[in-house]
Amino acid sequence: MSERRASIGARRNPDTEAAVLDAATALLEEKGIAGVTMEAVARRARAGKATLYRWWPTRGALLLAVYKRQKQITAYPDTGSLEGDAAALLDTLFAHWARPEGAVFRHIIAAAQGDDEVREALEIYRQDRLDSLGTIFARARARGEVSGAVPERDMARALMAMAWLHLLTDQLDADTGAMARALVRGWTR
């Protein structure tokens, strides 16, 4: 049996973190989302379960960490208009979700329906994404495109809902320009 990876104290050991995320990714590919247990990941990564639970307190948090690592979308496009920003964002998301590794998010949403830990982790992620999405609506407000009638968070929620619906119904080839136009029509001046 191989030796367990060494701890470097309170800080995350980057090698161990990479090994854990690699192990979780491999298990996802081999066994599906049900095969990703903290025990299986710890064993595959040659890491202690205590380390996993310290860094990712739940299986759901670990699954979201795998997804975030694969996602690699770091900023929202700034096209100069809310409609353009919304369409570009949907294009970026749909392109990611259409790749094999992008399917992980669909599985996380499905798992959240029957797993409280995954649901809680997904809710934390969703709230973070809503906060982040607010930037495109704040830019639109600063450009004078939207009134104060609809809060930025509500606009972000509607855009997120539309994106997630298309992911869950496997309609990632939708016309994002038309979607964005329909979505922002009621918000713009």
**Per-residue pLDDT tens for 68-88?**
999 878 788 899 999 999 999
Start and end residues for every CATH 1.10.10.60 domain found in the chain: 14-55
List, in sequence order, every residue forming a beta bridge with 188; answer none if it has no partner. Answer: 146
**Residue 6 pLDDT greater than 80, yes or no:** no
**Residue 55 pLDDT greater than 90, yes or no:** yes
Confidence of residue 139 (pLDDT cuts 50, 70, 90): very high
CATH for the stretch 14-55: 1.10.10.60
Start and end residues for every CATH 1.10.357.10 domain found in the chain: 72-184
**Per-residue pLDDT tens for 91-111?**
999 999 999 888 899 999 999
**Per-residue pLDDT tens for 13-39?**
899 999 999 999 999 999 999 999 999
| Measured distance CA(49)–CA(42) in Å, rounded | 6
| Measured distance CA(44)–CA(42) in Å, rounded | 6
Query: Domain 72-184: which topology?
Result: Tetracycline Repressor; domain 2 (1.10.357)
